[in-house]
Amino acid sequence: MFILKFNYFLVFLQSVLFSCSTILGQETSNPINIQQRITNLSEEEKLSNMLGLADQLVQAYPDSSLFISAQVLKLADSIRNTELAARAHYTIGMASYFKKQFEEACQEFSKSLEYAKRKGDHEFSVKIMIGLAEIKYEKLQYDSAKIMLEAAKAIAVKHNYEAPLSNIYNNLAKISGNQGNRTEAIEGYLKAAELFMEQNRHDALAVVYNNIGILYNNLENPEDAIQYFNKAVEICKKENITTDIYNYYNSLGNIYSESDTLDKAIYYYTLVLEDARKSGDEYNLAKCFLNIANLHKKMGEYVNAKKYYDSSIYLSEKNNIVFGIIIGKMNLGKFYNQTGNYQQSLKTLREAQKLLSGYKLPEADARLSAWMSEAFKQTGVYDSALYYFEKYEHINDSISGQKTKDKVLELEKKYQSERKAREIAELQKNVSEEKSRNKIFIIALVFVVVLSLFTGLLLIFRRRAAILKEKLTLQENMELKNTMELRNQELVSKALMVSNLNEHLGKINHLILQIKPSLNAEAVEKLEILVRDLEVSLPDQAWREFETRFDQVHQGFFNRLTAQFPELSPTELKISSLLRLNMSTKDIALLTNRSIGTVDNIRSSIRKKLKLDAEANLTCFLLSF
């Protein structure tokens, strides 16, 4: 009984939280339709729906997603459903990933991958491998991440899984960019952008545009970089995507800082700083502190610059952000160079070099070598200064040059021309589909006519069957009576479920109060309207379903009763039907959302209109109709 009630609660919780995601722009489903769809689902289907909900919450609300998927995992294990358990492990892994708990995420992904390989579920395997590659990327294990992505790509291509290819191309491009392969990176980003547009994945397209902007900035092309950063911001504003927009503000701040447009740089950094502090996002806060430190250094405000460098490094070390520690110490070393503290510069840069040695980051290695060469030169250690300068020249020559810039421009022109060709092909396809739809309409019309004839014949056969049914034996009549009693029991169960629904609506209201603080004012207002609608719509809907089933079992009850007693109100008819099922006053009060006293008053009114004596039993009288 506890598990059954818990499952009902999960279903109602899903309807409400799924509606929250509608308010946040993540889905466009009607909550009433969702409730209708899940009414007759099996336990496995309900758990599957809960996992779908957890997947939707995983990025914006990883803690909530983790809680829901963990509960699903327990229930899936209890009914020994290994497929649901594997999916739950994957969702727990994603929630752990967004919480920066990479070891836990890796363990959960590995459990899912073991199941997928055992069952030969190649599509699920690709999805998990992308997640594992993301973790390796975050840990700066670029070669391992690339191997994992290439393996996932091979499976996806072999089995014609187009959906994950966009993510694979995007992640491969990120790795290539960090490894200095800019031509390969831009080619991958353009492929990813093409697929994201076809899939209408605007949030992912914005990320790609931001990454392309970073590449153009590295190629010393700030005009095109700003263009792509602004494209990313425009998509976020148009689609109401708040998750990544501050990354794009950081990018715009950086490029304006480099071009000495300091007022605009300060504007964008301030936007990031305020939001990161408000949400407690220490990852983006550390990145923003580093950018602000560089800005203060450019403005000659060295005391403030040192303070922000230290804060950025502290937060990176606190959250084990290795790349943040490396970049922070490198920039701090450069800061010491510019302020004349060359010994401290060498110390700080050597700390960064030690961390950097375990990773393949050629651009960072080139900048580090240039700054170490400068520090050695100023301290009079000319052989070391020459060594690091030559190292810088060697690395820089391998990742830059005019050929790379020309190749990038060539790839983008090719991408634009292919895009126009696809748009023309799409228009031609639409014309062809319109002709096909007209043919389908004619076929459908013929089908409807045939179906109508078939339905008419079916009704005739059913009428004949009803006539024959009247001639059944006494034993068959007894079986019919037993069936009637069973249906009455089902009606009572349905009525009790509706009363449970009213109880759960109260619990859901309490849960909504707990998640309100994480929503903005507009979302809260919409959510309150939705809950009020839910409180009205769900009970009314459940009552209509009960009334329909009651009339199927007790055919003509309402007509016979109203024919003899037309003064009965709709509410009194409703209470009369529940009394005919021999339900208690308490249950009727819960079912109709009224007090016990109100129900007693309605009973008294019914007795008066039926003109019953004080000794007469109201329920027995209604059973005669």
Q: Is 149:179 a contact under the CB 8 Å cutoff? A: no
Judged on CB neighbours under 10 Å (0-12, 13-18, 19+), 205 is buried
Confidence of residue 505 (pLDDT cuts 50, 70, 90): low
Q: Distances in Å between the alpha carbon of 333 and those of 267, 290, 348?
A: 26, 13, 5
What DSSP state is assigned to residue 30?
-
Cα-flanking dihedrals φ and ψ of residue 179, to 5°? -90, 5
Q: Is 187:157 a contact under the CB 8 Å cutoff? A: no
Distance CA 10, CA 563 (A): 44
Q: Is the pLDDT confidence value at 42 over 70?
A: no
Confidence of residue 395 (pLDDT cuts 50, 70, 90): confident
What average pLDDT does range 114-126 have in this prediction? 88
Confidence of residue 314 (pLDDT cuts 50, 70, 90): very high
Distance CA 500, CA 175 (A): 53
Which residue in this structure is represented by tokens 């960090």?
A: 178
Residues 6+ apart with CB under 8 A from 355: 322, 325, 326, 329
The pLDDT assigned to 282 comes to 85
What average pLDDT does range 189-202 have in this prediction? 85
What DSSP state is assigned to residue 616?
S
- What is 316-379 written as a DSSP string? HHHTT-HHHHHHHHHHHHHHHHHTT-HHHHHHHHHHHHHHHTTS--HHHHHHHHHHHHHHHHHT
- What is 197-220 written as a DSSP string? HHTT-HHHHHHHHHHHHHHHHHTT
Output 594 or 545, whichever has higher pLDDT: 594
The pLDDT assigned to 545 comes to 67
Nearest to 191 by CA among 409, 421, 412, 407: 412
The rounded percent of the chain whose pLDDT value lies above 90 is: 5
The rounded percent of the chain whose pLDDT value lies above 70 is: 74
Output 10 or 58, whichever has higher pLDDT: 58
Distance CA 497, CA 587 (A): 11
Which residue in this structure is represented by tokens 């390989």?
A: 117
Nearest to 240 by CA among 21, 410, 10, 460: 21
What average pLDDT does range 116-144 have in this prediction? 88
The pLDDT assigned to 434 comes to 64
Nearest to 167 by CA among 135, 125, 195, 206: 195
Q: Is the pLDDT confidence value at 398 over 60?
A: yes
The average confidence (pLDDT) of the chain is 77
Q: Is 88:51 a contact under the CB 8 Å cutoff? A: yes
What average pLDDT does range 217-241 have in this prediction? 83
The pLDDT assigned to 26 comes to 41
The model's pTM is: 0.48
Q: Distances in Å between the alpha carbon of 506 and those of 9, 30, 77, 355, 511?
A: 11, 21, 30, 55, 9
What average pLDDT does range 435-443 have in this prediction? 70
HSE-CB at 166 with a 13 A cutoff on CA atoms is 18
Nearest to 553 by CA among 463, 462, 490: 490
What average pLDDT does range 496-502 have in this prediction? 60
HSE-CB at 283 with a 13 A cutoff on CA atoms is 12
Distance CA 250, CA 460 (A): 73
Q: Is the pLDDT confidence value at 343 over 70?
A: yes
What average pLDDT does range 61-90 have in this prediction? 87
Which residue in this structure is represented by tokens 């450019």?
A: 298
Output 506 or 512, whichever has higher pLDDT: 512
Per the structure block, which two tokens stand in for 172? 């491969």
What average pLDDT does range 134-156 have in this prediction? 88
The pLDDT assigned to 159 comes to 87
The pLDDT assigned to 257 comes to 84
The pLDDT assigned to 495 comes to 59
What average pLDDT does range 31-45 have in this prediction? 54
Cα-flanking dihedrals φ and ψ of residue 164, to 5°? -75, -10
Q: Is the pLDDT confidence value at 21 over 50?
A: no
The pLDDT assigned to 522 comes to 73
Nearest to 541 by CA among 31, 8, 3: 31
The pLDDT assigned to 11 comes to 46
Per the structure block, which two tokens stand in for 602? 């309605």
Q: Is the pLDDT confidence value at 30 over 70?
A: no
What average pLDDT does range 148-157 have in this prediction? 90
Distance CA 122, CA 127 (A): 9
Judged on CB neighbours under 10 Å (0-12, 13-18, 19+), 169 is buried
Least confident of 157-166, 174-183, 333-342, 375-384: 174-183
Distance CA 165, CA 168 (A): 5
Per-residue model confidence as pLDDT tens digits over 528-582: 776 666 555 545 665 666 677 677 767 788 888 888 888 988 888 888 888 887 8
What DSSP state is assigned to residue 26?
S
Confidence of residue 310 (pLDDT cuts 50, 70, 90): very high
Task: Classify the C-alpha dihedral 543-545-549-551 as positive or negative.
Answer: positive
